[in-house]
Amino acid sequence: MSIDMAQFHEVFFEESFEGLEIMESGLLNLDQGSVDEEAINSIFRAAHSIKGGSGTFGFTQVSDYTHVMETLLDEMRDGRRPVTGGAIEALLHSVDCLRDMLSAVREGRDIDEARATDSTTELEAILKGGVAASTNEAEASEPVTADDEASVVGWHIVFTPHAGLLQTGNDIVRLFRELDDLGALTVKVDVSNLPNFDTFDPESLYLSWDLHLMGSVEIEQLDDVFSWVEGDCDLVLLPIHDPNAASDAETTTDIEAEQKASPVETVAPAEKKEPTPASANTKAEKPRAAASAGSIRVGIDKVDGLINMVGELVITQSMLGMLGENFDMSRVEKLRDGLVQLERHTRELQESVMQIRMLPISFTFSRFPRLVHDLSTKMGKKIEFKMAGENTEVDKTVMEKIGDPLVHLVRNSCDHGIEMPEERLAVGKSEVGTVELEAYHKGGNIVIEIRDDGKGLDPEKILQKAVEKGVVAEDAKLTDTQIFELIFMAGFSTAEIVTDVSGRGVGMDVVRKNIQALGGIIEIQSEVNVGTTLTVRLPLTLAILDGQTVAVGDEVYIIPLMSIIESIQVTPSMINLVAGKGETFKLRDEYLPILRLYELFDVPSVAVNELSEGLLVVVEGDGRKCGLFVDDLLGQQQVVIKSLEANYRRVDGVSGATILGDGSVALIIEVPGLIRLAHKH
């Protein structure tokens, strides 16, 4: 009897991606020059597990690639090879490549063989004694021995210039001419990083080259050629050995095949290579919908708690069933007790079920150490990244959807917030900036804070930009909080230089919309030369909402508690009529607009028309406050959210609906949308 191994694939992929997170985290924590045996062992074990699993399931390309990583890690943990910056960067690149390979196999796509080959070459350059140059340094992992030199018949050179290399006065053609003078040169250019024409910078270099230099060439000669571009490129030098040399039988390069290749070959950006017949992983694997179907790991304690609660419900149901037989008024008290017990068990069952969907937010936070590491290296900044509250639990759906907004906010902190080292030193700060990411529970919500000790937001600069764009009047008097809210407007940016990190005015408005779509809010606090704190408040789950029920005529509406500031009963003296702006009322030092819900939603039967006879619920959305005029407050309760768009259609100012205890339907108000709707009227 044969076993269908495909049923185990999804478990393998989940465990493999968890292993990649362990590898990435471990590599980021490695210190150059020292051997942390525990850290390297954990990285090695993760790679070994991925290699073993991929080999078992027939994903040969993945297992072959991981074998090279495993070999390098094995030599590092044995002390045979030092832990260098170049080796750490190469392994981080390989983690990215392996993640892409596993995703491709999981989704039934072709593996990017060109990327895998380049990454393998980078790793082998370190293993075979070549020179691997990282972004900030060029380090030789091990010199080529005298015995190796005798069998070297050429060099495989991977030359990746930095974008600004041409601005230093270097000439790529001159380098290639010097190499061609040393031997037979074969050139392969990679144009896959060329941007679209509208973002093309004529002073930047987007090309990289894969070179094969055949002939008796010493590494010192190559060092002389590339000394002019040292520090302005990533360089890998890999010796090509004589295929007839017995000592190098296992590392032979097919020189004849290389010599038959055309002298110059261009790789188009959209080019895709067909899988070789030996690539069993892409042939055996069928496209899967695993990513969309999703899965979740649940602790056995949560499952046990759920089973116990179901057992309690069964007992209560049995008791109520017995009471129903031959029921008479003498059993009313027992019926009441049974219903109270049923209510308690139902509430506890609901909490148990919701707990199953709760996962530590570390699943989202885990991507940020690498993100900050790469950004700080790319921008030439020194940034220390700190995390707190990684074990704070949040609903799986919320966690999946908050990832991208958080990425944008962290990138902004690194780019706009943290200054260059020399700028920080000039104002008396440490040259190392700090970015902190913290999550915690507060008031039935999850709060995520992104803090940096950078230059902060300059209110005067933001206001000046807003005046130039015609967003606010030149004589407008705004508080700092109101000014900071301007950066959430579409197309608004104060960046002086447009980079691939930020500065195009695209993003912060989308960030706010995405957070609001989750029922959350975002706030900004900032001080010049001290830093900025961005606070995101989200509901723990998207399935259940804490709301305030209000009456408007014969209708009942739900206002999310997160949006409510307070409820007040106004007096005629508090109300003002402003020309062109309608009714307003004074709340302490602010004049806030009044929105009559019965007018916005065309409620026909209204019991209260006079403002002094009803109540105003003060709410906030999109950084703006207003008072919602309602007949009465009915009470606070948790409601189960039903999608109105899926069951009916989208309604402005309404985020969903719920079914009340009496079976009637109540609409859930979306405060930001309601404010926008009011401005249209």
Q: For residues 639 and 558, is the Cβ–Cβ distance under 8 A?
A: yes
Residue matched to tokens 């974008």: 163
Q: For residues 233 and 161, is the Cβ–Cβ distance under 8 A?
A: yes
pLDDT of residue 73: 87
Taking the C-alpha atoms of residue 106 and residue 97, their distance in angstroms, rounded to an integer, is 14
Tokens of 353: 């079920």
Residue matched to tokens 């709707």: 677
pLDDT of residue 293: 45
Angle 88-91-93 from CA coordinates, rounded to 5°: 110
Q: What is the mean pLDDT of the chain?
A: 79
Taking the C-alpha atoms of residue 629 and residue 606, their distance in angstroms, rounded to an integer, is 12
- Pairing state between β 555-560 and 665-669: parallel
pLDDT of residue 243: 59
Q: For residues 91 and 72, is the Cβ–Cβ distance under 8 A?
A: yes
Tokens of 660: 């009340």
Around 143, how many Cα atoms within 13 Å sit in the side-chain half-sphere?
A: 7
Taking the C-alpha atoms of residue 73 and residue 88, their distance in angstroms, rounded to an integer, is 10
Taking the C-alpha atoms of residue 122 and residue 117, their distance in angstroms, rounded to an integer, is 9
Give alpha helix (H) positions in 469-542: 480-484, 508-517
Residue matched to tokens 């005046």: 467
The string of pLDDT tens digits covering residues 163-177 is 888 877 777 888 888
pLDDT of residue 4: 59
pLDDT of residue 52: 82
Residue matched to tokens 């074969």: 186
Strand partners, 94: none
Which residues of the chain carry a pLDDT beneath 70?
A: 1-7, 33-34, 129-151, 243-295, 491, 493-507, 579-581, 606-607, 680-681
412 counts as catalytic: yes
Closest by CA to 503, choosing from 364, 595, 379, is 379
pLDDT of residue 8: 76
- Pairing state between β 184-190 and 264-267: parallel
pLDDT of residue 353: 80
Strand partners, 669: 654
281 counts as catalytic: no
Query: CB neighbours (10 Å) of residue 33?
Result: 9
Q: How far apart are the first and last CA of the chain?
A: 71
Tokens of 292: 């969309």
- Pairing state between β 615-621 and 624-630: antiparallel
Sign of CA dihedral 170, 174, 180, 181: negative
Q: Which amino acid is at 519?
A: G
Task: Name the catalytic one among 89, 122, 285, 412.
Answer: 412
pLDDT of residue 128: 75
Residue matched to tokens 């990533």: 234
Entry field: residues in the chain: 681
Q: Which amino acid is at 338?
A: G
pLDDT of residue 491: 67
Q: For residues 548 and 561, is the Cβ–Cβ distance under 8 A?
A: yes
For residues 659, 637, 564, 404, the Cα torsion angle rounded to the nearest 10 degrees is -70
Give the DSSP H/E element, type plus range, for residue 153.
Answer: strand 152-161
DSSP assignment string, 243-286 = TT-GGGGGG---HHHHHHS-SEEEE-TT--PPPPTT-HHHHHPP
Taking the C-alpha atoms of residue 179 and residue 171, their distance in angstroms, rounded to an integer, is 13
Burial 423-447 (b: 16+ CB within 10 A, else e): ebeeeebeeebbbbbbbeeeeebbb
Around 547, how many Cα atoms within 13 Å sit in the side-chain half-sphere?
A: 28
DSSP 432: S
**Cα 249 from chain centroid (whole Å):** 45
Taking the C-alpha atoms of residue 352 and residue 266, their distance in angstroms, rounded to an integer, is 58
Max CA distance (Å), the chain: 108
DSSP 232: S
Closest by CA to 636, choosing from 653, 617, 655, is 617
Q: Which amino acid is at 611?
A: L
Does the pTM surpass 0.95? The reply is no
Task: Name the catalytic one among 48, 67, 162, 408.
Answer: 48
Task: Name the catalytic one among 9, 24, 70, 555.
Answer: 70
48 counts as catalytic: yes
Taking the C-alpha atoms of residue 125 and residue 87, their distance in angstroms, rounded to an integer, is 10
**Radius of gyration of the chain from Cα atoms?**
32
Taking the C-alpha atoms of residue 387 and residue 363, their distance in angstroms, rounded to an integer, is 13
